Amino acid sequence: MNAIKPAFGGRLGDTVEQSTPWWPERPARNRAVPNQLQIIFDDTGWADLGCFGSEIETPNLDRLAGNGLRYSNFHVTPLCSPTRACLMTGQNHHRVGMRFLADIDTGFPNSRGAIDPGVPMLPQRLREAGFGTYLVGKWHLTPQHEITPAGPYHNWPLARGFDKFYGFLDGCTDQFAPELCQDNQVHEPRIGADYHLSADLADRAITFIADHVVFRPNDPFFLTLALGATHAPLQAPRHLIDKYVPVFEKGWDAIREQRLARQIDLGLVPPGTALTPRNPGVPAWSELGADEKRLFVRLQAAYAAFLEHADAQIGRVLAQLAALGIVDDTLVLVLSDNGASREGGRFGAVDINGPYSGVRETIAEQLDRIDSIGGPEGPAHYPEGWGMAGNTPFRRYKQSVDLGGVRSPLIVSWPNGIAGRGQIRTQFAHAIDIAATLADLARLPSDPHMDGASLKRSFGDAAAPAPRSTQHWEMFGHRAIWQDGWVAVTEHRAGVPYDADTWRLYRTHTDFAHNQDLAAQYPERLETLIASWWQAARDNGVLPLDDRSLVQLLNGTTSPYQMANRTQLVLQPANSHLPVSSGVTSTNRTMRLTAQLIRRRAGESGVIVASGSGEGGHVLYLLADELVLEHIALGERVVLHTPAPVTEAPVTLGFDIVRGDGDSAMGWLTVNGRRTASAPLPRTLIHPAFWGLDVGRDPVSPVSRRYADCPELPAGVLQTVTLDFAQPMSVDDMAELIAATE
């Protein structure tokens, strides 16, 4: 939308002396229009915050809730990209092309892997209204094949309305060695012993706010702080992890009971509410062995430490608002993009790169590395039993349309606009209402395309009506609908006719946790709700229903998944960092790497190519005149050395990897095309680490322990690095890479 040029209010003559200059009046700051700070957690359960009944310490969020409102009936979608699409557009996610992940274009309008270009997004509208617009943290609304150092950028944050962006484009990243972008550029974080992404994001948010207040004092700002916490990998300072070990030794069953009791005491949950039954596949804590308990406690302690650490960083951002004197004029919202996750599976993971590659380690294998949990070499995830506890008192998890997947905590604070302190709101609300609320508070013209409605009335009126009478959900064929206090929900099994799905019916006013299935008692009401779901699906672009697996989707789509389908890639030292999402940074395919060194002095050291980090990956380097390949997967490190020194130049150096049975492979070092040393690689992974590939350097988290200063080859030594793959990445492996993190 082009701004209207104001009419000139001066006088124009033939010369300056005959003319009168004029400047348009700059409007004063309208204090009735608040700044907007939207804080989005990732995979954080409804019961995980202290102010929602948790034993995890979140004092800053608790204080924010104490000064504002908590919404106990707020909902999202059960997956991150769709929820973020709702938050940024105020529309239901199928309508804007984000059926599930920002990765796959299925060829249907509801699943393009990106928000439709013609849909106005909230930051665009706010920027046009004079707001400064800033995004710090996770985006995950860019298709995977567009996450390259050269874009294209039309689905990156700046093109969709943000003035500044600092964060990550993909679904998750390492907290100690993150793959980051700044605006439209790859950005290498300056990591050190005390580095953590949550703190880095808070630093950048603080800077954006400070700069805005100083240099644009008459304009409000909209800042989204989208943390990596608490999505895997679970990583946090060691002392915080140690602190929580005794807290969780009582197990998930006791934790659920205690959280529910606190939720009732806090007034969030009606008295008499019972826990839903333990989720299928989750054993009673008392049935676990001592080794399982020891491992599972440590994994959950890492999660709690991650969350407490994130709360501390939010506290720093809130302190900046106070220091600048703008707390009263700033609306702060805190929510989660979906319920707690079950991605850790039955046993959890000391290294989530294993499950993300389809490899599950035994309890014994994990216990050998229990002390690495939560550190740079222990990017962990908890077992699904703790995800169940995170969603107390509800059933199921992220990806499900039951409450465990779609009920989110919501905190709203605005001292100048909300008189109530520590109050609870029970109105039904949904993620689509957030954009509508923020647009309303910014006094933007109403947008008829928005599905959401403003929650502003509920700020001052606990009895204000819900924004709508109906809301639908769909994910992977699972379906649900809320209508006037009744909910119908069904879990779909892939391949089963949709008409054969069994629907359940709940009355939310008397059954907060959805414990009593009333389908048999009220069959006519259930049929009415099912019919309403189909009507909502037709009205919102949900159809066609699609329960195909990712493998099936990838087989049936022609989307250009960038480098993953190439059989050769030629890189130069001038190339920027190649992200993990490219699909070519691992060693899970038969491949050959050849590096052309056109000149070199004897004894010169340096990295030729590095992929991954200290937690996993591979690196080819020269140390003096020794050519070395190191390969790490789930803690197993293999090191190959050339038997003779490499002194000549020009020279071609490299390695061959031939995939064997299962996840194993055979590796060879090569000099001028001749294989000089070999060793078996017990494991290769689709996703060995959260850091991708660099040519001529190992810039962030050294793959090798043999060098501390991440040496770079001198300029002019390395000409090209060529990656040759025997075949494109298999559809199965590509699906694993995309699906595992969500």
Nearest C-alpha neighbor of 578 from the set 696, 684, 683: 696
**What residue segments make up the domains of the chain, in order of their start?**
35-467, 471-547, 562-740
For residues 172 and 179, give the distance between their C-alpha atoms in angstroms, rounded to a whole number: 9
- The CB-side HSE value for 553 (13 A sphere, CA atoms) comes to 26
Q: Is the pLDDT of residue 1 over 60?
A: no
> Starting from the edge strand earliest in sequence, which strands make up the sheet with 693-695, in order?
636-641, 626-633, 616-623, 606-613, 693-695
Nearest C-alpha neighbor of 307 from the set 386, 370, 254: 386
Q: What is the pLDDT, as a whole number, of residue 2?
A: 58
Q: Is the pLDDT of residue 220 over 50?
A: yes
Q: What is the mean pLDDT of the chain?
A: 94
Q: Is the pLDDT of residue 40 over 90?
A: yes
Domain 35-467 CATH (choose: 3.30.110.30, 3.40.50.300, 3.90.76.10, 3.40.720.10): 3.40.720.10
Q: What is the pLDDT, as a whole number, of residue 709?
A: 66
Q: Is the pLDDT of residue 560 over 60?
A: no
- The DSSP secondary structure of 670-705, one letter per residue, reads EETTEEEEEEEES---SSS-S--EEES---SS-S-S
Answer yes or no: are the C-beta atoms of 357 and 685 closer than 8 Å. Answer: yes
Which band of pLDDT confidence, cut at 50, 70 and 90, is reported for residue 5?
confident
Residue 477 identity: G
Instruction: Report the percent of the chain where pLDDT is more than 90.
Output: 85
Q: Is the pLDDT of residue 353 over 90?
A: yes
Q: Which residues contact 357 (CB under 8 A, 6 or more apart)?
A: 588, 663, 685, 686, 687, 688, 736, 740
Q: What is the pLDDT, as a whole number, of residue 555?
A: 55
With helix as H, strand as E and coil as C, how does 462-518 read? CCCCCCCCEEEEEECCEEEEEECCEEEEECCCCCCCHHHCCEEEEECCCCCCCCCCC
User: Strands 503-507, 486-490: parallel, antiparallel or unpaired by DSSP?
Assistant: antiparallel
Q: What is the pLDDT, as a whole number, of residue 238?
A: 97
Mean predicted confidence (pLDDT) in 177-191: 95
Domain 471-547 CATH (choose: 3.40.630.30, 3.90.1150.10, 1.10.287.70, 3.30.1120.10): 3.30.1120.10
Instruction: Report the percent of the chain where pLDDT is more than 70.
Output: 95
Q: Which residues contact 184 (CB under 8 A, 6 or more apart)?
A: 151, 153, 156, 158
Q: Is the pLDDT of residue 684 over 70?
A: yes
The token pair at 477 is 């064929």
Q: What is the pLDDT, as a whole number, of residue 564?
A: 73
Which helix H or strand E contains 570, and what residues bound it? strand 568-571
Q: Is the pLDDT of residue 556 over 60?
A: no
Q: Is 136 helix (H, G, I), strand (E, B) or coil?
A: strand
Domain 562-740 CATH (choose: 2.60.120.200, 2.60.40.60, 3.30.300.30, 2.60.120.10): 2.60.120.200
For residues 699 and 711, give the distance between their C-alpha atoms in angstroms, rounded to a whole number: 9
Which band of pLDDT confidence, cut at 50, 70 and 90, is reported for residue 601?
confident
The token pair at 334 is 């805190």
Answer yes or no: are the C-beta atoms of 135 and 224 closer than 8 Å. Answer: yes
Q: What is the pLDDT, as a whole number, of residue 558?
A: 47
Q: Which residues contact 67 (CB under 8 A, 6 or more apart)?
A: 413, 415, 421, 422
- Alpha-carbon dihedral sign for residues 56, 57, 61, 64: positive
Mean predicted confidence (pLDDT) in 241-254: 98
Least confident residue range of 191-205, 344-358, 697-711 = 697-711
**Size (the chain), residues:** 742
Which band of pLDDT confidence, cut at 50, 70 and 90, is reported for residue 402?
very high
Answer yes or no: are the C-beta atoms of 53 and 268 closer than 8 Å. Answer: yes
Q: What is the pLDDT, as a whole number, of residue 230?
A: 97
Mean predicted confidence (pLDDT) in 221-237: 98
Mean predicted confidence (pLDDT) in 348-356: 94
Q: pLDDT digit string (tens) for 615-671?
A: 999 999 999 899 999 999 999 999 999 999 998 889 999 999 999 888 899 999 999
Q: Is 184 helix (H, G, I), strand (E, B) or coil?
A: coil
Q: pLDDT digit string (tens) for 285-340?
A: 999 999 999 999 999 999 999 999 999 999 999 999 999 999 999 999 999 999 99
As to burial, measured by CB atoms within 10 angstroms (0-12 exposed, 13-18 middle, 19+ buried), residue 192 is exposed
Mean predicted confidence (pLDDT) in 249-271: 98
Q: Is the pLDDT of residue 732 over 90?
A: no
Mean predicted confidence (pLDDT) in 61-84: 98
Q: pLDDT digit string (tens) for 455-478?
A: 999 999 999 999 999 999 999 999
Torsion, Cα 151 39 477 360, to 10 degrees, reads 80
Q: What is the pLDDT, as a whole number, of residue 730?
A: 64
Mean predicted confidence (pLDDT) in 587-613: 92
Q: What is the pLDDT, as a whole number, of residue 3?
A: 62
Q: Is the pLDDT of residue 710 over 70?
A: no
Q: Is the pLDDT of residue 690 over 70?
A: yes
B/e letters for 569-608, b = 16+ CB within 10 Å, e = fewer, are bebebebebbbbbbbbbbbbbbbbbbbbbeebeeebbbbb
